[in-house]
Structure 1
Amino acid sequence: MTSPAPLRVVQWTTGNVARKTLRSVLARPDLELVGCYAWSADKVGQDAALLCRLDEPCGIRATDDAEALLALAPDCVIYTPLHPDVEELSRILRSGANVVTSAEFLTGHSLPAGSREALEAAAREGGASLFGSGMNPGFAQLLGAVATGVCQEVRKITMHESVDVSAYASDSNMDGMGWGRPMDDPGHAADVEAASVVFADGVHMLAATLGIELDEVRCHVGFAATTKDLDLPGRPIAAGTMAGLDLRWVGVVNGGEVLDLHQRWVMTRHLEPAMPVEHGYKVEVEGSPNVTLNFGLMPDQPLDTLTVEDMHGIGMTITGLPVLNAVRHVVAARPGIVTYADIPVPTGPAAWTLAGGKS
């Protein structure tokens, strides 16, 4: 038996998540980097690996010439900006390139009116597939679906993300949450709902995976105030202002909440009211039998050597690798928007590092 030819991929943007996806692409025999897109003019012409803070160049130089990259006819584009650009994604899909993305896209339900339909049409026109994930929303909902596989009956699934996010305080995806806003600030809950609406996609994706037709998706928001000033890099938060967020996106059937994506994010443990966190993910299935699945993440290095940058890197890894590990399945999938309901369960790379060396 011979190994299949490597899939030709383009890395689209060179930010935090790309540093993890590009590193993995270069390390894998089943993927070949053929191009790299950079937004900034000062990155154009630079080696993609060096832009992603690798030690050695890879020989692929970043460009802002989208047409030149699409002319390479890549099998897949790894699209990792923070937010999706519908026009840009449509252009890529119409070219025939499949797309996997971490850019706050799962199903398209949370995009502005007409955007989901435009992406679906572009994908079908190009004969390409569009897949989005991340850790949560995304991979966490896959775990929720898998946890029901031992059940005779399922009445409700709740997925908890419970994390101290102070290591990510300065990240731009935190901007819309309103950290440091006065408590009871008018419109704050509505702003959080708008900033986190991609979690509605997570509810829709889980429902599709389970074969459930939802009546509606609701959002519930709760806040806690820090009892002390927080001197966080890039985001100082004053005592008495918001530093704890309890966020639930729920799927409703016949008036009952049957799918619950529960996020608890805090910038400190000094909160009023208290918002304890468990530093991980948990799936709870109410059914026959009841199922609890705990999903913990630990660094592969001694804890006393762990830095804030290391912790941030773990977050970027679990954001980017769910889409990267899905590339081969997405390339083989039907044209259009696809989710975990449409592809085999993605796993890690086939070459495992064993105790005695590499397999």
Structure 2
Amino acid sequence: MPLTAPIRVFQVATGNVGSEMIKRIGAHRDLELIGVHCYSPEKVGRDVGELAGGDAIGVIATGSVDEMIAAAPDVVTFHGVFPDEDLYVQVLEAGIDIVTTADFITGHHRNAHHRHRSGRPITEVIDDACRKGGSTFYGTGMNPGLAQILGIVHTADVAEIENITVTESVDVSCHHSVETWKEVGYGRPVDDPTIPDSLYKYTAVFEDSVRLMADAFDLELDEVAFSYELGACTKDVDLGWYQMPKGSLGANYIKYQGMVAGVPRVETHLEWQMTPHTDPAWDIQGCYITHIKGDPNIYSKHMIFPKPGVRLDDPSDFAAIGMTVTGLPALNAIRSVVAAPPGIVTSADLPLRAFAGRFAT
């Protein structure tokens, strides 16, 4: 595909990430938005620019997968909260590539915890659809996704790695996804016995992030261990879009540790707070931290700041930053995914240019 030819994109979902990506696709020099699929019937038939909170752009939302396939896009971008494997199979078998930010990095945890209705491993179902259609499937995001790529790149000048830990230390109240936080357990009493299983089930994609890094290092893991600490709200918290009573889950520290001979070698940590009013509370740094023990030692912070004019006291502006850094790793990788061979690809398979942004034109 010539570099001058825009890649025709059909997007799925207009939620938090999806709405922001509609705006970003419009400004992306590689891409042309030709359609959007919505799950909510009340959105179908409306201009997607208006659905995203902006002006009309002449693209009308559909609720039909058949219409999406008939439009013959080069790629479908999927930004739903949870994956839709049935849609994936239809699109991939039609020869259309998919790039998603929904809970997929290597597929390991999808196989373990979310078996396909056929009983087959989900990665097998997706890969078969890719082979049938000659299409490519790729999952990414900020974390898991880019955060682990940053960690891998930071080892390029390390002679002997003893341990690598990538930590997300963030206030997650900017991510206005009620469904996500209900599933994770935020707002439930901190002593609710269902919380540990919920935390594991709905963060298990971070196990995949550990496996992705280990794969890049050619490191064979014995297991990926999961552990957690919970922070209970010290008062009733009302965020406007989410409520957490006193004593409910309002923060957590989770570790996914890739173990070799009983020693943690590759780790992803999640230091999250929905509110600072918890016990215990953590020193949230608002960044992504790579810490490498080895020869030499490396410590790096990936810090994200708004451009001038963005008001951090405006909840929508603040939330848009998180949605941008979640979705842009997918958009910027599209040209490399379209050029990749059929099948499931991970970030370890793509060239460096897949992780490059674009200069403004």
State the TM-score, normalizing by the size of structure 1. 0.92
Q: Which runs of 5+ in 1 are unaligned?
A: 353-357
Match of 2:13 in 1: 13
CA, structure 1 residues 303+82, in 2 after alignment: closer, same or farther (shift >3 Å)?
A: closer
Question: CA contact under 8 A between 2:178 and 2:242: conserved in structure 1?
Answer: no
Question: CA contact under 8 A between 1:244 and 1:271: conserved in structure 2?
Answer: yes
Match of 1:72 in 2: 71
| 3-state DSSP of counterpart to 1:326 | helix
Q: How does 1:294-333 map to 2 (within 5 A)?
A: 294-302=301-309, 306-333=313-340
CA, structure 1 residues 5+239, in 2 after alignment: closer, same or farther (shift >3 Å)?
A: same
> Deviations along 1:163-213, whole A, 9 cap, x unmatched?
122333653211122223333332321221112111112112222222222
Q: How does 1:81-160 map to 2 (within 5 A)?
A: 81-111=80-110, 112-113=114-115, 114-160=121-167
Is 1:23 paired with 2:27? Answer: no
State the alpha-carbon separation in 2 of the partners of residues 11 and 37 from structure 1.
6
> Deviations along 1:231-271, whole A, 9 cap, x unmatched?
22233222233222111112122222111110011122232
CA, structure 1 residues 23+274, in 2 after alignment: closer, same or farther (shift >3 Å)?
A: closer
State the alpha-carbon separation in 2 of the partners of residues 226 and 169 from structure 1.
19
| 3-state DSSP of counterpart to 1:73 | coil
| 3-state DSSP of counterpart to 1:151 | coil
State the alpha-carbon separation in 2 of the partners of residues 303 and 314 from structure 1.
9
| 3-state DSSP of counterpart to 2:293 | strand
Is 1:271 paired with 2:270? Answer: no
Aligned residues: 351
Code of the aligned partner of 1:100: V
State the alpha-carbon separation in 1 of the partners of residues 178 and 190 from structure 2.
22
- Which stretch shifts more, 333-342 or 209-218? 209-218
Question: CA contact under 8 A between 2:174 and 2:322: conserved in structure 1?
Answer: no
| 3-state DSSP of counterpart to 1:74 | coil
Give the Å deviation of 1:52: 1.5
Match of 1:46 in 2: 46
Is 1:59 paired with 2:66? Answer: no
- Which stretch shifts more, 90-99 or 46-55? 46-55
Question: CA contact under 8 A between 1:152 and 1:288: conserved in structure 2?
Answer: yes
Question: CA contact under 8 A between 2:65 and 2:87: conserved in structure 1?
Answer: no
State the alpha-carbon separation in 1 of the partners of residues 51 and 74 from structure 2.
23
CA RMSD of aligned residues (A): 1.8
> Identity percentage over the alignment?
38
Give the Å deviation of 1:305: 5.9
> Deviations along 1:313-348, whole A, 9 cap, x unmatched?
111111111101100000011111111111113245
State the alpha-carbon separation in 2 of the partners of residues 27 and 170 from structure 1.
25
Question: CA contact under 8 A between 1:169 and 1:267: conserved in structure 2?
Answer: no
Q: Which runs of 5+ in 2 are unaligned?
A: 116-120
| 3-state DSSP of counterpart to 1:154 | strand
Match of 2:118 in 1: none
Give the Å deviation of 1:290: 0.6
Code of the aligned partner of 2:314: T
CA, structure 1 residues 303+83, in 2 after alignment: closer, same or farther (shift >3 Å)?
A: closer
Question: CA contact under 8 A between 2:160 and 2:295: conserved in structure 1?
Answer: yes
